[in-house]
Structure 1
Amino acid sequence: MLVVTDEQIHTAENILFGKTGVFDDDRKTFIREWHTCDLQAVPGSGKTTALLAKLLILEAQLPLKEGGNVLVISHTNAAVEEIRHIIAKHCPRLFAEPHFIGTIQSFVDRFLAVPYYVHKFKKRPVRIDDEVYQEYQEHHKPSRSFQHWLNNRTDKEKILFKSRLLDQDTIGYAFTSDEFPLKNKNASSYLELLRIKKDCLENGILCFEDAYLLGFEYMQSIPSIKSIIQKRFRYVFVDEMQDMDSHQYDIIEQLFGDPTCLSQIQRIGDRNQSIFNDESKLSDPWVPRSSILQLNGSHRLHPQVAAVVQNLALHPIAVNGLRRTPQGMPIDIKPHLLVYKDSNKHLVINQYAQLIKRFNESGHIPQSDKNVYKAICWTTKKEEGRVRINDFHQSYSKEAEKPQINYPSLESYLHLCNQESFASIRKNILNSFLRVLRIAGVKHSSGQVFTKRTLLKFLQNTNPDTYKELKLKLYQWCCLILNRDHASALTQIKAFLTNFISLWPGKSLIGARPFLNAVCPLSVKPATTEAKAKSPNHCCPHGIPIEVTTVHAVKGQTHTATLYLESFYQKSIKKTGNYESERLAPQLKGIALASDAHEYIKQSMKMAYVGFSRPTHLLCFAVHESRYQSHLKELNSESWEVVYVEPVS
């Protein structure tokens, strides 16, 4: 087993921070641990930085004397890109074969889904991608009656992408009966869905969910693959474990969770932050290992906010607020309760801005262009008589907040990617080319649609001049986008595509014109405070730029100040209350969660834990006067400052 010296830790600190003495004892303990364990870390504890230090130390010891390689899995491309951005230049061996650093999806695709598909169908899948999967279905014309039935369902996306196929003997030919209400196997809707799924599978067009199905099937039918993967990867690190969906969690556990596993696996995250999609998880698949390390010190939160956050932890954990001023002085700002009435709830954000301005002027919040101020809310759906995000900020638009997976225009592909990542931009440009070719009906000689790999290979073999020109243009377009000159990149790409399509006689861009010319709604990104105030999810009361968004959207972020807006979620059952201020009143007063607490209370705890743990300086919680009087009037005045929302002065 590896031994980590103080000198190696100092080297890692110098790379990451430009100085030594940064890591506390808890993080050093984790950095030195190489056996299978879980790391439970509070918000702002620096867990990812500690993982980066481990990887830097591993790089210096490659190849490993005991054999084997390193596997790092995270949940999102953004998280993987962050790891790559910070340490890739220092870890050339770690970011090359036979090691692997990527998302859970890319890992499953690479090591399970694709090999098993080749084994079963004697060919490679064409694409594993929800967008291509949906396009393929649309182009292969499901029956009109089925399309009408599907369009009238609220769970349309779920049926198309998440309906699970059965075991190896029936893969592609049946569905589990408990996923959706499609239990009548003689129903026309069932048979049509069956035909569509079977057609996609046999033609190598897979959605992301299909990859996990194939992965589970691989391990069931060829169990030796587990030991093969374990022998390849001696050390396995899974970051942000709490964000894994149940099927992602299960596939990791089937591969590496057995006590006899040849790999040492370390699962890293915060069980209390397991929220995703539009709800907080009803069940928590993450069952802790017998060996658990903790990072309790939060470098984001100061003690007064940390004390509130600690009381909201569904899985109890100490949260020690370590945040201080750059001069080493305490940050002395109590959490604030903003009490509003029906008549002035639209002024809550204005009151929040007044507080920020006051603390700016007093020096309690240092004034800086880098300060981040947000107002966040759990639920967004408008409903009469139930307080939601639009009651506080009428112009809020969910569509403007979150980019869609299926980009509606060429311009969207240029904007809706990591604008700091050359690789991400290049990938999106190539994906837009594939979209144009699919719309134009261009296919490979094999009859399959092009992938990025097969398109570049085709050009290299048949049109080497075009291949060289495209590679040069890709570099130039990426540089333009990195420099935020999207307009020039868009114009040049359109011009290139006009000649590019001529490589396929008889094909044209006529059908792709709507896609090429449509405007991305997020293409003009506000650059100034005044411009931001004009966007639907931004405002600027008292000169304070505030973004209004959801709790889900700010997960993992750090703010200077955060306003948590209470909202209605699910009608009261067993008198739990309908708002966070009702459900969480005991916890906000420091009372432990009851053993028989309802699921709605637990869900509210998870949401508030994530939302309340964002700010470095000021935490505010907006509560209706009636709920304040009936549930929170007895809050400790030493812990909370109560402010009544007043008219604009």
Structure 2
Amino acid sequence: MFDDLIREEDVAWAAALMGLGPDGFAPVGDDVSRLQAMLRLDTVDFEACPGSGKTTLLVAKLAVLAMRWPHRQQGICVLSHTNAARNEISAKLSHSAAGIVLTRYPHFVGTIHAFVNEYLALPWLRSKGTEVRCVDTQIALAKRWSLLPQNRRWALRQANLSETCLIYENIDYGGGQTGNFGPHTPTYRAIVEARRTSSEQGYFCFDEMFLWANELLDRHPETVSTLRWRFPLVFVDEAQDNSEAQSALLHRLFCHGDAPSRRQRFGDSNQAIYGSPSQRGATSDLFPGAVIHPMPRSYRFGQDLADHVKGLGVTPQALLGAGPPDLLGVDPKAPAIFLFDDGSVQGVLARYGQHLLESFDAAALEKGVFTAVAGVHELGKDDRIPRALGHYAPSYDPVCARRESAPSSFVQYLARARFETAGSGNTDRLVNATAAALLAASELAGGTHGYGSRKSPHRRVAYMLGDSDARADYLALQEIVLTHQGNLSPVIWMAALAHVEGVVRHLSGAAALGGDVITFLAPPQPEALAEGGLANGARSDNLFVYPPDAPQLRIRLGSIHSVKGETHTATLVLDSFYHNHHLSELKPWLLGAKSGGFSTNRRGRQVSEGARMHGRLKLHYVAMTRPTHLLCLAMRKDAFVEDELNTLTNRGWTIIDCTIA
């Protein structure tokens, strides 16, 4: 059915389509991994190193398949872990007419959540008489919290439980993280009632949809064979990030039992990182599985950087540096470590900026992408310097950089869009961020518009407004946002607010806007000044400009999670604190004394470094494999003795002491 759909003569065409030239997937010496990966259509897991071009490979395969696909009612299912990955796949598919076909019936290209919602959870809930108004964890939890009696909210706060205790794990609305409140307590019963009421009103958290999808399969097991017939070929991108709920459901749908679909998964087990320490990956359908196709060649960086970072991989893998791409016309630079103390921690970003100016010419600074990231980016306590990114840049806003969680205010939607479009000149994200913020505000105001449309936020709002008077408000608001590139001062925001309120009232049907909406529409705060009244270069959109008085470059600040999958010209990895300082704990790996996630004990046995260290290694392996040309670290000076600094120098690191003026 599939074995002749990709032929060797198609490979050169697909490589050229992806901008790689006709030899882009050709063998390199004895390495035929990319060519064979293009040709394979059996069930297999591609273990792809950072920069191996796995998404490019996936899209190239899809372009060929779209050109040769013979079925009108059966399609290809392409599942991504995040919206960002979905958007990247869709954008690359749009480069060819054949690729565009995959974005339409009978195919599916989208996130796992979107697939589960569209084909399983939403139809099932509607068949039970539930009108699904919104699938958004933040909005659903706000609804549930408001449904709790005041004394129960007080009891939960006293027990240090947040709104997340209102997420349920069973279809009877039970389970979840409720602390010491068991089923016999009035508080637990109030929690369950709030969960039930909000769900019956149509408000759900993202992961709860997997519960309803599984209930459909329990009640109607024939759904499995129907979906396997509809999607005989399934691709899963970033498979290492799938949760147990996601992996188990996909395995149930496409792999378990008779007549499975053919499934190909793409990922890197060494880059399996999660949003919080409490999150865990799959346990029943692990990636990679039994059939593995390794892709060890990185086209992002050269062998020198590969040698510096490959030891951090928990599972030892070959890492062959075949980059960087010759886009900037400059050579890779020696990796650097910035040393600081309590008094100089806020000077690290400026020293990094100066180092970039000294390392790259003006053309490279104009074209390049420069970032600074930390494993912990929400400050919390103001101790254990550096605990988080906020110790380096006090004005840093963690919500702006958090990809998958919803911003908590209108201005945060705009700030995130500015952050994501830094230097690109693309207005699409600003337009859609404005529309998404209006939809979120209307939900808070009690809007009842249905959920599940594949339209962009802008198209949804435009359709819902129609020819109403509020349409003029919407167009005027978008003009204000675009004129100021999303950077609205408090004065400009107040001028825009009347347009915002007009649109929100129309979308929600509310005559007046309540307290939650007013909080969501709060004006932006004026930029804070550093000590002495001078701007320190960091702004509310998490862009650090340097020099601050005459900027020559912009450095994006964010969490390591926020830049996963990205490619940068230079990346500064900032030390942060979780049970200990991350990079200080990784010092044996930096010094070459350890490699991988296992070590040999005195009895000669292989022992694991432990779950916490594995998480730390994977997190910083992701961070250190982002750059093409320059990798930098920032660590406390007192983490080292002189001999260790000499060892680092001998291993090729440049040491820059920020404690010396």
Normalising by the residue count of structure 1, what TM-score does the alignment of the two structures yield?
Answer: 0.81
Report if the CA contact (8 A) 1:533-1:545 is conserved: no
Secondary structure in structure 2 of the residue aligned to 1:367: helix
CA distance in 2, matches of 1:60, 1:395: 50
- Call closer, same or farther: CA 1:233–1:302 in 2, change over 3 Å: same
Q: 1:533 aligns with which of 530, 537, 540?
A: 537
**Partner of residue 320, structure 1:** 320
- 1:51 is aligned to 2:84: no
**Partner of residue 24, structure 2:** 22
**Partner of residue 459, structure 1:** none
Percent pairwise identity: 23
Q: 2:576 aligns with which of 556, 562, 567?
A: 567
Q: 1:223 aligns with which of 211, 221, 224?
A: 221
Q: 2:135 aligns with which of 95, 114, 128?
A: 128
- Call closer, same or farther: CA 1:244–1:378 in 2, change over 3 Å: same
CA distance in 2, matches of 1:340, 1:503: 51
Report if the CA contact (8 A) 1:350-1:648 is conserved: no
Structure 1 residues 320-339: aligned runs within 5 Å: 320-324=320-324, 326=326, 331=331, 333-339=333-339
- Call closer, same or farther: CA 1:498–1:116 in 2, change over 3 Å: closer
- Call closer, same or farther: CA 1:383–1:282 in 2, change over 3 Å: farther
- Call closer, same or farther: CA 1:279–1:83 in 2, change over 3 Å: same
**Partner of residue 374, structure 1:** 371
Report if the CA contact (8 A) 1:415-1:523 is conserved: no
Report if the CA contact (8 A) 1:411-1:520 is conserved: yes
Give the counterpart letter for 1:552 in structure 2: H
Deviation of the 1:184 alpha carbon? 2.4
Report if the CA contact (8 A) 1:414-1:425 is conserved: no
**Partner of residue 107, structure 2:** 99
- Call closer, same or farther: CA 1:490–1:412 in 2, change over 3 Å: farther
Report if the CA contact (8 A) 1:408-1:518 is conserved: no
- 1:307 is aligned to 2:307: yes
Structure 1 residues 10-89: aligned runs within 5 Å: 10-17=12-19, 19-25=21-27, 26-64=33-71, 68-88=74-94
Structure 1 residues 148-187: aligned runs within 5 Å: 148-161=154-167, 163-166=168-171, 171-172=172-173, 174-175=174-175, 179-182=177-180, 184-187=182-185
**Partner of residue 359, structure 1:** 359
**Partner of residue 620, structure 1:** 632
Deviation of the 1:560 alpha carbon? 1.6
Report if the CA contact (8 A) 1:296-1:320 is conserved: yes
Deviation of the 1:317 alpha carbon? 1.4
CA offset digits 1:236-285 (Å, max 9, x no partner)? 11111122222222222222232645211111111111112134966564
Deviation of the 1:394 alpha carbon? 4.3
Deviation of the 1:476 alpha carbon? 8.6
CA distance in 1, matches of 2:615, 2:332: 30
CA offset digits 1:411-454 (Å, max 9, x no partner)? 55566558758599458627625733762x56xxxxxx233689
- Call closer, same or farther: CA 1:77–1:329 in 2, change over 3 Å: closer
Give the counterpart letter for 1:318 in structure 2: A
**Partner of residue 258, structure 1:** 256
- 1:144 is aligned to 2:150: yes
- Call closer, same or farther: CA 1:438–1:7 in 2, change over 3 Å: same
CA distance in 2, matches of 1:238, 1:645: 44
- Call closer, same or farther: CA 1:279–1:557 in 2, change over 3 Å: farther
**Partner of residue 2, structure 1:** 3
- 1:589 is aligned to 2:592: yes
CA offset digits 1:98-136 (Å, max 9, x no partner)? 2111111111111111222234x2444333232442343
**Partner of residue 446, structure 1:** none
Report if the CA contact (8 A) 2:120-2:216 is conserved: yes
Give the counterpart letter for 1:13 in structure 2: A
- Call closer, same or farther: CA 1:465–1:518 in 2, change over 3 Å: closer
Structure 1 residues 403-442: aligned runs within 5 Å: 405=405, 407-410=407-410, 416=416, 420=426, 425=431, 429=435, 432-433=438-439, 435-436=441-442, 439=445
CA distance in 1, matches of 2:278, 2:303: 26
- Call closer, same or farther: CA 1:385–1:425 in 2, change over 3 Å: closer
Report if the CA contact (8 A) 1:410-1:515 is conserved: no
- Call closer, same or farther: CA 1:60–1:477 in 2, change over 3 Å: farther
CA offset digits 1:363-396 (Å, max 9, x no partner)? xx96331222222222243442443234444444
**Partner of residue 639, structure 1:** 651
- Call closer, same or farther: CA 1:123–1:411 in 2, change over 3 Å: same
Q: 2:189 aligns with which of 171, 188, 191?
A: 191
CA distance in 2, matches of 1:20, 1:357: 36
**Partner of residue 122, structure 2:** 114
CA distance in 2, matches of 1:96, 1:68: 12
CA distance in 2, matches of 1:570, 1:157: 25
**Partner of residue 574, structure 1:** none
Give the counterpart letter for 1:604 in structure 2: R
- Call closer, same or farther: CA 1:631–1:541 in 2, change over 3 Å: farther
- Call closer, same or farther: CA 1:95–1:484 in 2, change over 3 Å: farther
Give the counterpart letter for 2:583 in structure 1: E
Structure 1 residues 432-471: aligned runs within 5 Å: 432-433=438-439, 435-436=441-442, 439=445, 449-451=448-450, 467-468=466-467
Deviation of the 1:597 alpha carbon? 1.4
Deviation of the 1:570 alpha carbon? 0.8
- Call closer, same or farther: CA 1:59–1:142 in 2, change over 3 Å: same
CA distance in 1, matches of 2:274, 2:60: 28
Secondary structure in structure 1 of the residue aligned to 2:338: strand
Structural RMSD (CA): 4.0
Stretch of structure 1 that moved more, 420-429 or 610-619: 420-429
- Call closer, same or farther: CA 1:231–1:645 in 2, change over 3 Å: same
CA offset digits 1:335-373 (Å, max 9, x no partner)? 223344455444433443343233226xxx963312222
Secondary structure in structure 2 of the residue aligned to 1:533: coil
CA distance in 2, matches of 1:277, 1:351: 29
CA distance in 2, matches of 1:277, 1:637: 34
Report if the CA contact (8 A) 2:345-2:386 is conserved: no
Report if the CA contact (8 A) 1:239-1:269 is conserved: yes
CA offset digits 1:469-500 (Å, max 9, x no partner)? 58976789768867766579997894496499
- 1:607 is aligned to 2:619: yes
Secondary structure in structure 1 of the residue aligned to 2:52: coil
CA offset digits 1:507-557 (Å, max 9, x no partner)? 345879836853256999xxxxx9992515425259554344322222222
- Call closer, same or farther: CA 1:17–1:483 in 2, change over 3 Å: farther
Stretch of structure 1 that moved more, 632-641 or 268-277: 632-641
- Call closer, same or farther: CA 1:13–1:149 in 2, change over 3 Å: same
- Call closer, same or farther: CA 1:480–1:44 in 2, change over 3 Å: farther
Stretch of structure 1 that moved more, 321-330 or 391-400: 321-330
